[in-house]
Amino acid sequence: MHIPDGYLSPQTYIPLFGAFVGIAAIAVRKVKKEVSVKNIPYLGMAAAFSFIIMMFNLPIPGGTTGHAVGSALIAIILGPWATVIAVSVALIIQALIFGDGGITAIGANCFNMAIFMPFVAFYFFKIIRLKSVNPRRIFVSAFIAGYLSLVLTSILTAIEFGLQPLIATTHEGKALYCPYNLSIAIPAMAFEHLILFGIVEGLVTAFVVRYFFSHDSSMIFAIQKGGKNE
């Protein structure tokens, strides 16, 4: 899902970089208030976890790759604002040192996987769980949150790809950046994440959240306020 250099036009990656920088600045202030001292070490572990899980890239049709991200899990455990920082750090290191994701696309990749995805996952989890502390409800809510957040993020990425032939072309109408329009980009990205990568993301999220819930539910940011038994 990492966007490489040359796929996005300046009209796309500059605004997304600006949005990322602004939101990341807010995230730093939020984390100072929301993340407890005992959970600070987990922030570094979360960045490392996301870094590792994203390194398992598999090529998919349309010139892209797919992988799990870990944003949903981190958002549920530490909160979406902490996830912005943890996953952004992982993405920036991958781009600058390992060449996984383009330099010009850092803002876009961070916006997609470190901002959009964790907030989608966090609120899906909250809405589906309905304050329940039933273990099965927790597991299902975490799975759906992980699954849907990754699928929707892949679609967002595909839209960014697919818009390029519409907004950046030569005088002859030839695409200057990503050559795949929406009708190609969206199916190519969405299909593989619907049938494979989304399921992996959902299962990883669900099993780890269940583990934390069974051992110390107070460590799970998304349910710290408690709930009702079902």
Residue 61 CB burial class (10 angstroms; 0-12, 13-18, ≥19): exposed
Q: Over the range 27-39, which residues count as b (16 or more CB within 10 Å of their CB) and which as e?
A: beebbeebbeeeb
Which residues have C-beta within 8 Å of that of residue 102, sequence separation ≥ 6? Answer: 2, 3, 4, 5, 6, 7, 8, 95, 109
Q: What is the pLDDT of residue 41?
A: 82
What's the pLDDT tens digit per position in 74-99? Answer: 999 999 999 999 999 999 999 999 88
Q: Which domains does the chain have, with CATH numbers?
A: 10-219 (1.10.1760.20)
Average pLDDT over residues 192-198: 88
Q: Tokens in use for 199?
A: 């399921």
Average pLDDT over residues 160-166: 93
Q: What is the pLDDT of residue 65?
A: 62
What's the pLDDT tens digit per position in 64-74? Answer: 566 789 999 99
Q: How high does pLDDT run on average in the chain?
A: 88
Tell me what percent of the residues of the chain surpass a pLDDT of 70: 91
Average pLDDT over residues 142-155: 96
Q: Tokens in use for 27?
A: 């995230």
Confidence of residue 168 (pLDDT cuts 50, 70, 90): confident
Total-model pTM: 0.89
